[in-house]
Amino acid sequence: MARPKSEDKRNAILAAATEVIAEQGLGAPTSRIAKLAGVAEGTLFTYFDNKDALLNELYLDIKADLREVMMATYPMRASTRERAQHVWNQFVDWGVAQPQKRRAMAQLVVSDRLTESARATGMQSFADINAMIEESVASGTLRDHPPAFVSAIMAALAETTMDFIAREPAHAERYRRAGFEAFWNAIAQH
């Protein structure tokens, strides 16, 4: 009879995968991930059928963490600009506080190893934000860009902002505000 799977071991594998992928990229060996997680490589494959399954689960795990941070205090009834600024601030703060997750996610989102199902689930996690974008486009508040494109613009500008905050933490608020203004000017109708 097979042993029941441990949530602690699964989480340890995902944490190790985050660290190893952030450092070595998607080509990092599963043996390194298993060693860092404190499990045998065979155990890793008890939890994840193959490396692609691990990468897809890691993507969803990081997306879930980011969603929790962004949406816990999301101001549903605020203006479009206030909601966009909330999302921006939460994302930038998360990225600065979680550099390994940020680096791992940056590699995962451009990977052809992610399934369409994982990508769709990841986007669905942010349905409230996507709905806000679509409503704001329809009302003329935002430019007519698809939500995925708006997210890509935000991610690119946020990466620059996070890099500057990491280099010059004393100027974090200045960079956070300047980054948001650049983002808002890229998406808002004027």
Q: Structure pTM? A: 0.89
Structure confidence by residue, pLDDT tens digits, 42-84: 999 999 999 999 999 999 999 999 999 999 999 999 999 999 9
The residues spanned by each domain of the chain are: 1-48, 52-187
Give pLDDT, residue 1. Answer: 47
Element (H, E) at 173: helix 172-187
Q: How many angstroms separate the CA atoms of 104 and 66, rounded? A: 13
pLDDT averaged per 10 residues in sequence order, the chain, 190 residues: 77 98 96 96 95 98 95 94 96 96 94 95 88 91 90 94 97 98 95
| CATH fold label, 52-187 | Tetracycline Repressor; domain 2 (1.10.357)
The SS3 assignment for 138 reads helix
Contact 157, 164 (CB under 8 A): no
Q: Give the residue from 83, 66, 84 showing the smallest Cα distance to 187.
A: 84
| CATH fold label, 1-48 | Arc Repressor Mutant, subunit A (1.10.10)
Q: How many angstroms separate the CA atoms of 43 and 186, rounded? A: 47
Give pLDDT, residue 51. Answer: 97
Contact 180, 89 (CB under 8 A): yes
Distances (CA, A) of 155 to 6, 150, 190: 34, 9, 22
